[in-house]
Chains A and B, each alone.
Chain A
């Protein structure tokens, strides 16, 4: 079952004016399901009893990406965990913790560490979604949650406050967050690696002139907000420079049709008509005639 944001002018009860207000309303209703937010790129917010357990958006790494790309769990062990989960899962088991339990039972990661990563992923994805305005939303009551979720979930109010704080923190050092998110970063100068922390070294190595902070986050297996924070701090020290994104206009190209085949438009036709024309010579009275 799904419910969309109503069109303007329809006589309905007052609707939430933005996503945080919607989440506050769903918390009061003890709602379990998902909110699909449309936008560029948008995403899906998963709720259990009104608390946010996961946020999916193409703009931020998932828990799986964080675990694999950071090297915390290797690909082979991950595949083994997925196989193990498929083997033990039964439709009637009613197990809500799913892959979280499998990963900890197999000893691939501690329960506390996985909980922290799932919580971090919720806040990071909410921040990444907030970088572009939401265009609308649809509420799905029977949506299936992702495999890895935060438990018991995050308060919508705390999520909104933390997202606002993150946007304000970055806005102090970079005027346009959209520009920062799209800036292609590269090292600005050479520096002795011994003067940098391990994290700074990793970010500098990842900043190859083609990657944006989002790309760096996916490459290193860390959050988008921490990657943007790293870039702003390194830029403040003069160690990184960001190239502004190129404007999205089509490149100018030469006309493909030959000039002779083109039909002149009206303006060109009238201009051509106004030009002086050479009088046509009557060859029958030409004085050069040899007769």
Chain B
């Protein structure tokens, strides 16, 4: 039985991770955050971004669901992944901030997806 904070700490096993948070996809409430999360931004900004993309996709007639959002800036990557397994209307996202110099984006996305799949268990 692991708390959310303990589960989030597993994200730091991946090279280059500098911050991680579990965020409510609708309200933007950061349930728990770990590390230096200032690189990623506030929870409500993450929720607004994913809501904008998700609703925009549906409005444009796209099929399927959002799988990931990757935002790259000069120094950091930000990886945002939907967290499966909750009640359909109460959704969450996992946001991970990475130091670009010390991370492999493909590997980081894969490991973040594994964490997203297990964090609510």
Residues of chain A having any CB pair with chain B under 8 Å: 66, 70-72, 104, 110-113, 115-117, 119-120, 123-124, 151, 162, 165-166, 169, 194-200, 202, 220-223, 225-226, 229-230, 233
Contacts and interface: CB of A to CB of B under 8 A. Distances in A.
Q: Per DSSP, are chain A's interface residues mostly helix, strand or loop, or mixed?
A: helix
A119 B24 CA distance: 10
B29 A111 contact: no
Contact of B90 (A120, A197, A200): A120
Interface stretch (B55-63, B68-76, B106-114): B55-63
Contacts of B22: 116
Interface of B: 1-4, 7, 22, 24, 26-27, 29, 31-32, 44, 51, 54-55, 58-59, 61, 85-92, 119-121
Nearest to B29: A123
Contacts of B58: 194-197, 200
Nearest to A194: B61
Contact of B88 (A104, A119, A165, A198): A198
A220 B87 CA distance: 10
Contacts of B120: 110, 112-113, 116
A266 B44 CA distance: 66
Nearest to B42: A165
Contacts of A110: 85, 120-121
A71 B54 CA distance: 23
A229 B27 contact: yes
Q: Per DSSP, are chain B's interface residues mostly helix, strand or loop, or mixed?
A: loop
Contacts of A104: 1
B121 A112 contact: yes
Contacts of A200: 55, 58
A65 to B, nearest CB: 12
A162 B2 CA distance: 25
B3 A70 contact: no
Contacts, number: 91
A152 to B, nearest CB: 9
Contacts of A195: 58-59, 61
Contact of B89 (A111, A196, A202): A202
30 contacts: A71-B87, A72-B87, A72-B90, A104-B1, A110-B85, A110-B120, A110-B121, A111-B121, A112-B3, A112-B120, A113-B120, A115-B31, A116-B4, A116-B92, A120-B24, A123-B27, A166-B27, A169-B44, A195-B58, A195-B61, A197-B55, A197-B58, A199-B89, A220-B89, A221-B87, A221-B90, A222-B26, A226-B26, A226-B27, A229-B27
A169 B29 CA distance: 13
A72 B29 CA distance: 20
Given A72-B87, A195-B58, A195-B59, A111 B3 contact: yes
Given A120-B27, A226-B27, A112 B88 contact: no
A239 B101 CA distance: 46
B90 A66 contact: yes
A115 B119 CA distance: 11
B114 to A, nearest CB: 14
Nearest to B51: A233
Closest 6 CB pairs of A and B: A70-B87, A113-B120, A110-B121, A112-B120, A72-B87, A226-B26
Nearest to B59: A195
Contacts of A196: 58
A247 B2 CA distance: 51
Contacts of B44: 165, 169
Contacts of B59: 195
B26 A119 contact: no
Given A104-B1, A110-B120, A112-B119, A72 B31 contact: no
A169 B27 CA distance: 10
B27 A225 contact: yes
A242 to B, nearest CB: 19
